């Protein structure tokens, strides 16, 4: 009997002392698209250029193999200034296909920071899977003294594996701060602390290998990816604008137009007449604002004021930034066949 007890004790001791095997770790898919995180300084030009493979990215992150099993998918390696909505459509389909694996816990997308907020929002709108997807990048390339890419990747994988990250959908996570894809904006062209969500606040924070949850993600209305994305023009107005660019877009094939207005969603008389002209041709026109906080509201009833624009058929985008409003309008036009009355509902937060 004593021998049996000793044998049992030894088995318990061994079970507690043996570390979790590699096979038991969660699986995270890392889809690479390029950006500063995958660049190095070119000796001839002195500027950063694409140079690092997905395999190299992962190899530069010590301790990653203790968190998850990593599967790397190399989609492309370009600066994110070269990204297009069509490429994000392909990215969305690729991520969905890999998240369908039953053993896959979540996905990490490495992406350039210039258009990361837009790319993340496109996937937020179109992904079918509810598993966590973390967009990550870097503000310093791999050649610099203290590149931020490795730590950002480690944090992104940590988040993808964490139960605290449930129901966040797609996030942008850099410098330990977690932002919702809808609300995140890039605020600094060089500093590592560039992404934030303004007055909406961060979803959470990553410290000492743990995800600390602050807020829930805003709700999202999913949209299918069409075979062809419609052409939507994005135009920012300015003092003295005569509306000619809006008219040009309306006359040259634009299926929708997003106007980045001033203040709470106001334009001058020339742009106002151009917006009405576009609407008269059955083209949905969405009004956003260049102002960082709050959004557009039907406050002013003068010529070109937000209230007047809304009464004349324009769609007010609320607090959704112009570049993201363009992506949402593309998908909504395709889904609703250009029906402005139905499209309007997608822009209510």
3 in any annotated domain = no
236 in any annotated domain = yes
Inter-axis angle of helices 322-336 and 85-99, to 10 degrees? 70
> What is the distance of C-alpha 220 from the center of its chain?
13
Domain count along the chain: 2
Domain match, 204 and 59 both: yes
Q: Return phi, psi of residue 306, to 5°.
A: -60, -40
In the chain the first and final C-alpha atoms are separated, in Å, by 68
Domain match, 68 and 208 both: yes
Q: Which of 133, 139, 105 is nearest to 119 (CA)?
A: 133
116 in any annotated domain = yes
Domain match, 55 and 96 both: yes
For tokens 């334009």, name the residue. Answer: 267
> Which structural domain, as residue segments, surrounds residue 176?
24-213
Domain match, 166 and 309 both: no
Domain match, 249 and 294 both: yes
Q: Which of 133, 21, 14, 102 is nearest to 66 (CA)?
A: 21
DSSP-assigned letter for residue 148: S
Rounded-to-integer distance, Cα 105 and Cα 245, Å: 46
Q: Which residues are catalytic?
A: 36
What is the pLDDT at residue 7?
A: 42
Q: Kind of pairing, strands 315-316 and 133-136?
A: unpaired
Domain match, 31 and 100 both: yes
Three-state DSSP at 346 gives: helix
User: Where is the domain boundary, 213, 245, 269?
Assistant: 213
For the chain, list residues with pLDDT below 50: 1-19
User: Where is the domain boundary, 159, 182, 213?
Assistant: 213
Domain match, 325 and 177 both: no
Rounded-to-integer distance, Cα 280 and Cα 28, Å: 49
What is the pLDDT at residue 141?
A: 80
Residues 88-117: pLDDT tens digits? 999 999 999 999 999 999 999 999 999 999
What is the pLDDT at residue 41?
A: 61
Three-state DSSP at 90 gives: helix
Instruction: Check if the beta carbon of residue 109 is closer than 8 Å to that of residue 118.
Output: no
What is the pLDDT at residue 233?
A: 98
Domain match, 200 and 67 both: yes
Beta strands in 115-209 (DSSP E): 133-136, 170-174, 177-180, 185-186, 195-196, 204-207
Domain match, 46 and 174 both: yes
Rounded-to-integer distance, Cα 131 and Cα 133, Å: 7
Domain match, 183 and 247 both: no
Rounded-to-integer distance, Cα 180 and Cα 195, Å: 10
16 in any annotated domain = no
Rounded-to-integer distance, Cα 248 and Cα 318, Å: 25
Task: Identify the helix (H) or strand (E) that includes residue 134.
Answer: strand 133-136
CATH code of the domain covering residue 251: 3.40.50.40
Domain match, 73 and 117 both: yes
223 in any annotated domain = no
What is the pLDDT at residue 36?
A: 74
What is the pLDDT at residue 271?
A: 98
Domain match, 116 and 191 both: yes
Structure tokens at 271: 């742009």
CATH code of the domain covering residue 181: 3.40.50.1170
């Amino acid at each position: 009997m004593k021998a049996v007890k000793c044998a049992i004790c030894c088995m318990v001791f061994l079970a507690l002392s043996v570390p979790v095997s590699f096979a038991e770790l969660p699986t995270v898919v890392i889809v690479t698209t390029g950006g500063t995180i995958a660049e190095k300084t070119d000796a001839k030009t002195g500027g950063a250029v694409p140079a690092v493979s997905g395999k190299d990215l992962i190899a530069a992150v010590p301790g990653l193999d203790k968190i998850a099993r990593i599967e790397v998918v190399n989609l492309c390696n370009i600066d994110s200034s070269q990204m297009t909505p069509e490429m994000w459509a392909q990215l969305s389909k690729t991520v969905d296909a890999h998240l369908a694996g039953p053993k896959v816990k979540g996905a990490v997308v490495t992406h350039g920071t210039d258009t990361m907020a837009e790319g993340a929002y496109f996937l937020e709108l179109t992904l079918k899977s509810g598993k966590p997807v973390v967009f990550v990048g870097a503000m310093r390339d791999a050649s610099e003294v203290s590149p931020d890419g490795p730590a950002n990747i480690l944090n992104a994988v940590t988040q993808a594996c964490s139960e605290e990250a449930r129901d966040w959908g797609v996030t942008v996570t850099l410098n330990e701060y977690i932002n919702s894809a809808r609300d995140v904006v890039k605020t600094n062209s060089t500093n590592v602390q560039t992404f934030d969500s303004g007055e909406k606040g961060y979803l959470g924070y990553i410290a000492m290998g743990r995800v600390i949850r602050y807020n829930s993600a805003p709700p999202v209305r999913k949209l299918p990816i069409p075979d062809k994305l419609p052409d939507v023009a994005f135009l920012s107005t300015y003092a003295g604008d005569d509306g000619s660019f809006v008219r040009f877009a309306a006359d040259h094939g634009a299926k929708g137009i997003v106007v980045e207005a001033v203040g709470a969603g106001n334009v001058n008389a020339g742009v106002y007449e151009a917006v009405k002209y576009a609407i008269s041709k059955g083209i949905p026109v969405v009004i956003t604002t260049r102002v960082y906080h709050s959004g557009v509201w039907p406050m002013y009833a003068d010529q070109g004021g937000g209230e007047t624009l809304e009464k004349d058929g324009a769609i007010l985008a609320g607090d959704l930034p112009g570049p993201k409003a363009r992506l949402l309008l593309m998908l909504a036009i395709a889904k609703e066949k250009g029906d402005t009355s139905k499209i309007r509902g997608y822009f209510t937060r």
